[in-house]
């Protein structure tokens, strides 16, 4: 919760929980000023749930919540004393079965077991879950099939190769040199003319041999700041100002040769 603990802050936090878990039929709280306010009552009317408060100065009327608060506080104190991550400690509370017949609070809420660092076996007793998982895999494989029909792997780059890297802010291309291939998928380390090292995806760069010279090419100054590079004007030979290639074949921005249909040659 924020430092200014107001009714509006409580309403905002409750609204976020409802957006994730759904709106409950009933909310039970104490008579704190954050809940016993016109702001929270208006929120309950708008979202359509019943808000009940416990008896004033009688904590036993809301004993379940009071006991849970005590359990959480003790768990956080033990986690701090032993150096355990408090989030993992809270996860263990949520994933611990209530008794031998009642599952954990997390399983009651989500309908599935949650993995944690407790020594427990997670069986899958519901057969329909296997069908759902199988159907999900089939759906993903179908999506991958239609995606791979038009997709293809770009040729790999080697260290020292001259490439052009695109600035995602301006859309211009500037020269660079490949320094090394990174362990991340399709990632390369490139060096710009001013000595900066950038990590870029293979899709964000192109072989300098496969592009027209000076097309959409912006060469930043050696001492230019990132702000100057972002606002630098395009070069005089940018794509929109480049002369048409009437005598030679048309080449697209990606370097592909365009062949005009016969009906356009008359």
Q: What is the pLDDT of residues 46-61, one digit of tens each?
A: 999 999 888 776 777 7
Expressed in angstroms, the distance from the first to the final Cα of the chain is 73
Q: 202 near 182, Cβ under 8 Å?
A: no
Mean of the per-residue pLDDT values of the chain = 78
pLDDT at 242 > cutoff 70: no
More confident residue, 234 or 152: 152
State residue 41's pLDDT score.
Answer: 92
> How far from 246 is each of 214, 228, 261, CA to CA, in Å?
18, 35, 15
pTM: predicted TM-score of the whole model, two decimal places: 0.45
Q: Across residues 3-28, what is the average pLDDT?
A: 90
Q: 230 near 170, Cβ under 8 Å?
A: yes
Q: How confident is the model at residue 205 (pLDDT cuts 50, 70, 90)?
A: low
Max mean pLDDT range (12-26, 103-117, 131-145):
12-26
């Amino acid at each position: 919760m924020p430092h200014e603990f107001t009714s509006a802050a409580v309403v905002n936090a409750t609204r976020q929980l409802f957006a994730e878990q759904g709106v409950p039929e009933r909310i039970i709280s104490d008579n704190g000023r954050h809940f016993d306010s016109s702001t929270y009552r208006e929120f309950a009317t708008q979202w359509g749930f019943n808000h009940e408060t416990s008896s004033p100065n009688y904590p036993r009327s809301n004993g379940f919540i009071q006991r849970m608060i005590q359990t959480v506080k003790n768990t956080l104190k033990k986690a701090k004393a032993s150096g355990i991550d408090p989030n993992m400690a809270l996860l263990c509370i949520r994933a611990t079965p209530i008794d031998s017949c009642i599952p954990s609070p997390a399983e009651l809420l989500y309908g599935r077991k949650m993995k944690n660092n407790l020594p427990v076996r997670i069986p899958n007793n519901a057969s329909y879950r296997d069908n759902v998982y199988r159907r999900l895999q089939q759906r993903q494989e179908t999506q991958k099939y239609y995606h791979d029909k038009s997709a293809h792997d770009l040729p790999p780059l080697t260290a020292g190769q001259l490439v052009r890297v695109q600035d995602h802010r301006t859309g211009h291309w500037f020269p660079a040199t490949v320094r090394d291939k990174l362990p991340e998928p399709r990632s390369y380390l490139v060096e710009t003319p001013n000595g900066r090292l950038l990590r870029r995806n293979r899709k964000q760069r192109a072989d300098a041999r496969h592009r027209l010279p000076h097309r959409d090419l912006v060469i930043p100054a050696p001492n230019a700041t990132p702000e100057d590079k972002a606002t630098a004007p395009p070069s005089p030979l940018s794509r929109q100002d480049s002369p048409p290639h009437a005598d030679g074949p048309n080449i697209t921005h990606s370097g592909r040769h365009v062949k005009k249909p016969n009906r356009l040659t008359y």
